[in-house]
Structure formats: structure tokens, C-alpha cells
């Protein structure tokens, strides 16, 4: 699978591979060990997913503003969530992301899964991501505008779901859109307290289990549920 249109990247002023390699070294030092995740993150040019004014900081392991009060997630968190997800489920044919934002997490997943659907609630961010992913050559990612509290029914059920904004509680519709045997990774917690990464595993309709992982800080999940 051709992951990124190399010509398109050249035309956009690629910052050096060495800068990106340093970020990957840092992720490894912090404990990211999945080789597929490291390989993809070494290739995806994060500077193209942030505003030009921010691009000099794009290979720091930090979240950065992307406008509209939102942020591109910290590379370590992107790596960790991706690693947790791909280690849960063997065949990632149909995956859903809620919270497209800058589309960086989507681009990382796009290199690892067969089909990705990603939903964003802010129209400007949706349009920007849609155009950027197209320009970069991704043809296995479908971007959608909408409130992800309801998941994305048209393409359900999913092998995995990743949520990149934090709700107080896990939206029920998302659990319903998991296949039997599928997993979801989601940061859960009130905005003024610590959120925890949770992995929800659905064996079947009556057997849903949740495990809790590290503390994280995410922007709020907008909910109209
Ligand atoms: N995955 C993104 C993270 C962006 S921050 C990245 O890699 O850059 C989280 C995003 O979730 C924001 O863009 C926000 O607008 C979006 N969001 C919050 N609540 C949402 C909801 N209910 N449905 C869809 N998107 C939502």
C-alpha cells in the first residue's frame, strides 16, 4: 500500500528526516516498543498537520494548538494509543476515529489499518483534514462531519474505535458500534480532573469489559447525547 504521496510532500517543504528520527528515539526511550507504530511515525510528516507558524515545534513531543480551541495530540499519546489499539485486535479492517482534529492520528492509523472512518464536529477542521489527507495521497481514510457521540452508523460495526477527545462517560452508541471481539480506546474523565485512558473490549452484547491505563489530558468531548 502506498501510504503517502512522496511528490506531494516534497512540494510542501519537508523538514529533515533527522528531526523526525530524534522524535522517534524519544518515543522509544519513553517506552513505545511496537515496531509498526515507530515505523509509521518515522514517516508521517507531522509538520504538515500543524499551522505553518507552529511547524518549527512540530517534532517536539508536545501537543500544539490547531485553532478553534483544539490541539494536535502529543506524539507520545498518539503512539501509545495506536500501540494499545493494534495490540488488542488482530485484523483492523474497519476502524473508527472520533475527533479528527488535525488528522495526524488519522494519518498514523491510515498507514496501519485497511479502512479508517474519522468524524469531526467542527466544520473548518473537518474540511481542512479532508483536503489535507487527499493531498497526501490517503485513499483509505473517509472523513465525516458530525457529532461522534453517535459514532458513524453508516460504516458500523467496527473492529476498533479510537476516541481522541475526553467525555465524562463512554457514549453508549460507540459500544453498540463495536463488533464482537472488538476494542475501543478512549480517554474518560471530567475536564477538571485527571482523565484515564480506558480500553473497552466487547466479547458480545452482554460481555463488555473495561481496563484502565495511564492518565492523560485531552480536550473535551462535545456531546449532544
Ligand atoms: N486526533 C486529533 C486530536 C484532535 S483534538 C489529532 O490527531 O489532531 C480532539 C478533536 O475532537 C477536536 O478537533 C474536537 O473538535 C473533536 N471533537 C470533540 N468532540 C467531538 C465529537 N463529539 N464528535 C466529533 N469530534 C469531536
Q: Say what the pLDDT of residue 192 is.
A: 75
Q: How close is the Cα of 143 to the center of ligand 1, in Å?
A: 12
Only one residue has cell 480551541, namely 69
Question: What is the C-alpha to C-alpha distance for residues 27 and 36, in angstroms, rounded to an integer?
Answer: 13
**CATH number of the domain located at residue range(s) 6-216 in this protein:** 3.40.50.150
User: Nearest Cα to 119, choosing from 46, 51, 219, 221?
Assistant: 221
Q: Would you call 186 helix, strand, or coil by DSSP?
A: strand
Q: Pocket of ligand 1, candidates 99, 122, 147, 161: which has the most ligand atoms within 8 Å of its Cβ, to mutate?
A: 99
Q: Would you call 9 helix, strand, or coil by DSSP?
A: helix
Q: Say what the pLDDT of residue 1 is.
A: 41
- Residues 90, 212, 126, CA angle at the centre, nearest 5°? 65
Q: Say what the pLDDT of residue 17 is.
A: 84
Question: What is the C-alpha to C-alpha distance for residues 105 and 108, in angstroms, rounded to an integer?
Answer: 5
pLDDT at 225 over 50: yes
Only one residue has cell 459500544, namely 175
Each residue of 57-102: pLDDT tens digit? 999 999 999 999 999 999 999 999 999 999 999 899 999 999 999 9
Instruction: Please state, rounded to an integer, the average pLDDT across all residues of the chain.
Output: 92
Q: How close is the Cα of 28 to the center of ligand 1, in Å?
A: 26
Q: Say what the pLDDT of residue 190 is.
A: 87
Of residues 193 and 188, more confidence is placed in 188
Each residue of 127-178: pLDDT tens digit? 999 999 999 999 999 999 999 999 999 999 999 999 999 999 999 999 999 9
Sort residue 32 into left (φ over 0), alpha (ψ -120 to 50) or beta: beta
Amino acid at each position: 500500500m502506498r501510504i503517502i504521496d512522496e511528490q506531494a510532500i516534497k512540494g510542501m517543504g519537508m523538514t529533515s528526516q533527522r528531526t523526525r528520527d530524534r522524535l522517534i528515539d524519544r518515543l522509544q526511550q519513553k517506552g513505545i516498543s511496537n515496531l509498526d507504530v515507530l515505523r509509521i511515525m518515522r514517516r508521517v510528516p507531522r509538520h504538515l498537520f500543524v499551522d505553518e507558524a507552529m511547524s518549527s515545534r512540530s517534532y517536539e513531543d508536545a501537543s500544539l494548538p490547531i485553532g478553534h480551541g483544539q490541539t494536535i495530540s502529543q506524539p507520545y499519546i498518539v503512539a501509545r494509543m495506536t500501540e494499545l489499539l493494534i495490540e488488542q485486535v488482530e485484523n483492523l479492517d474497519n476502524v473508527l476515529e472520533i475527533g479528527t482534529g488535525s488528522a495526524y492520528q488519522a494519518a498514523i492509523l491510515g498507514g496501519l489499518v485497511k479502512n479508517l472512518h474519522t468524524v469531526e464536529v467542527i466544520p473548518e477542521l473537518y474540511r481542512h483534514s479532508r483536503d489535507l489527507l487527499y493531498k497526501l495521497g490517503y485513499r483509505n481514510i473517509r472523513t465525516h462531519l458530525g457529532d461522534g457521540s453517535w459514532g458513524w452508523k453508516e460504516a458500523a460495526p467496527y473492529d476498533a474505535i479510537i476516541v481522541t477527545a475526553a467525555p465524562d462517560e463512554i457514549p453508549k452508541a460507540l459500544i453498540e458500534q463495536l463488533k464482537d471481539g472488538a476494542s475501543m480506546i478512549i480517554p474518560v474523565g471530567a475536564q477538571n480532573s485527571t482523565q484515564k485512558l480506558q480500553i473497552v473490549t466487547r466479547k458480545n452484547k452482554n460481555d463488555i469489559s473495561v481496563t484502565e491505563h495511564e492518565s492523560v489530558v485531552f480536550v473535551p468531548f462535545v456531546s449532544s447525547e
